[in-house]
Amino acid sequence: MKKLLLSTLFTMTYALSWGQSCTPGVNFVDSTYGIWPDTTQNLPPADPNVAYSTDINFKVPATVTAEIDPSGQFVGSVIQQFTIDALQGLPPGFNYACNVSNCTYLGGLNGCANIYGTTDSVAVFPVSVDVTATVLVVLLPGLPPTPVTQTVSFDGYKIVVGSGGMIDQVISPLSLQPNPASTTIEVNGLLAGHTSIVTLRDLTGQTIEILQTSESKVTFDLSKLASGTYLVELTDSFGTQQQKFVKL
Distance, CA of 123 to CA of 192 (rounded, Å):
15
The total number of residues shown for the chain amounts to 248
Judge whether 53 and 116 are in contact, CB under 8 Å: yes
Q: Is the dihedral of CA 61, 66, 67, 69 positive or negative?
A: positive
pLDDT (0 to 100) of residue 164: 42
Taking the chain (248 residues) in consecutive chunks of 10 residues, what is each chunk's mean pLDDT?
A: 41 43 76 64 86 87 77 85 90 93 88 91 84 86 88 81 54 77 90 82 89 90 93 78 87
Distance, CA of 221 to CA of 133 (rounded, Å):
43
The alpha-helical segments, DSSP class H, found in the chain are 2, 167-171
Judge whether 97 and 114 are in contact, CB under 8 Å: yes
- One of 2.40.50.100, 3.20.20.150, 2.40.50.140, 2.60.40.1930 is the CATH number of 167-247, namely 2.60.40.1930
Judge whether 197 and 163 are in contact, CB under 8 Å: no
What residue type is 76 in one-letter code? G
Q: Do domains 2-161 and 167-247 have the same CATH topology?
A: yes
pLDDT (0 to 100) of residue 60: 74
pLDDT (0 to 100) of residue 62: 85
Complete DSSP assignment for 37-65: S-TTT-SPPB-TTS-EEEEEEEE--SB--
Q: Is 142 left (phi over 0), alpha (psi -120 to 50) or beta?
A: left
pLDDT (0 to 100) of residue 90: 93
For the chain, domain boundaries? 2-161, 167-247
**For residue 24, what are the contacts with CB-CB under 8 A and spacing of at least 6?**
57, 99, 110, 111, 112
- DSSP SS3 for 171: helix
Question: Is the pTM above the cut of 0.75?
Answer: no
Classify each residue of 148-178 as buried b or exposed e, where b means 16 or more C-beta atoms within 10 Å of its C-beta.
eeeebebbbbbbbbbeeebbeebeebbebee
Distance, CA of 69 to CA of 74 (rounded, Å):
7
Overall CATH class of domain 2-161: mainly beta
pLDDT (0 to 100) of residue 222: 95
